[in-house]
Amino acid sequence: MTALKSVLFALTLPALLVAFWYIATSGAKNFFIPTPALLAEKFVSVWFSDRFFSDVLPSLGRLVIGLVSASVLGIAAGLLIGSFRWLRSLTEPVLEFFRAIPPPVLVPILMLLIGVSDLMKVAVIVSACVWPVLLNTVEGVRAVDSVLSESARTYGLSGAARVRYLVLPSASPQIMTGIRQSLSVGLILMVISEMFASSSGLGFTIVQFQRSFAIPEMWSGIVVLGLIGVIMSFIFQWTERKILRWYHGLREVENAA
C-alpha cells in the first residue's frame, strides 16, 4: 500500500499538468503547440520504429560511455589530488580555469583535434561531466575525519588499503553527489554534441525535425529526452541507496535520536 501511495503521489503533478495542457489546447489550432493526443500519436509512430535503434540507442551508448569515463577519471584524479595538500595547491588554479570554460565551446576544438566521430561526442560529454565528480571527490577526501585518519595510521593502514577502507567510504557520499550532478550535464552535452556535424542521434534528429517544421515530431524528441532523464534519475537513486546503505542508515539513526 505504501508503494502504491508513493506511485500515485509521484504521478499526481504530471497528470495535472497534462490535464491543464489538454484544456489549454482544446479547440486551439496553434501550429507550434500540439495537443496531447497528437503528440502521443507522433511519439509512438516516430520512436517505436527504426529510429529507436538508429538514434536513441547510439545516443544512450555515447552517454553511458561518457559518464562512466568521466566518473572513473574524476574519482581517480580526485583521490590523488585530495590526498596531498601540496598537489591541491598546485592544481587548484588550473582546475578552476578549465572548470570555468563552458563545455559547448570545446565542441569545435574537439572536432578539429579528434574529427567528427563518436569519440568526439564522448569526449565532449567527458569534458563536462568530469568536473563535478573530480571536485566533489577532492572535497570528500579532504573531509575525511581526522580521528579516523589517525586511527588508521596507528593500525598501520596505508597505501591501497587506506584508500579502500577509509578514504573511499568516507568520501563516497560526496562522490555520489558529483556523479548525480554529472547526469544532467551529460544529457545536455550529449544533445549539443549531436547537433554539430552529426548524422544520427537524438540531438541531430530533433534539429532535423525543427528545420523541416515537423513540430509535433520535434516535441516528441524532447519528451524522449525528458523520459531518459527521469529513468536515469531513478536508476541512480536505486544504485545510490545500495552503495550508501550504511550512510543512509546512519542518518536515520541520527535523525531518530
Q: Which three cell numbers stand for residue 65?
A: 560511455
**Grid cell in block for residue 253:** 539513526
CB 135 within 8 A of CB 178: yes
Helices (H) and strands (E) in the chain, counts: 13, 0
The three-point CA angle 228-242-78 to 5° equals 80
Alpha helix locations (H) across 84-198? 85-100, 106-114, 118-142, 146-154, 159-162, 168-194
Judge: domain 35-256, CATH 3.30.565.10. Answer: no
Query: Residue 58: what pLDDT?
Result: 92
Nearest-CA neighbor of 138 among 82, 209, 91, 182? 82
Other beta carbons within 10 Å of 123: 21
| Residue position matching grid coordinates 529507436 | 52
Q: What is the DSSP letter of 203?
A: H
Query: What pLDDT is stored for residue 159 in this prediction?
Result: 78
pTM equals 0.88
Long-range contact list for 159-162, CB < 8 A, 24+ apart? none
Cβ partners under 8 Å of residue 164, min gap 6: none
For 254, other C-beta atoms within 10 Å of its C-beta total 8
Contact 228, 187 (CB under 8 A): yes
Per-residue pLDDT of the chain (257 residues; tens, 9 = 90+): 566 777 777 788 888 888 888 888 887 777 788 888 889 999 999 999 899 999 999 999 999 999 999 999 999 999 999 888 888 888 888 888 888 888 888 888 888 888 888 899 999 999 999 999 999 999 999 888 778 777 878 877 777 888 888 888 888 999 999 999 999 999 999 999 888 767 788 999 999 999 999 999 999 999 999 999 999 999 999 999 888 887 776 666 666 55
Q: Give the residue among 182, 229, 179, 214 at the shortest CA–CA distance from 59.
A: 229
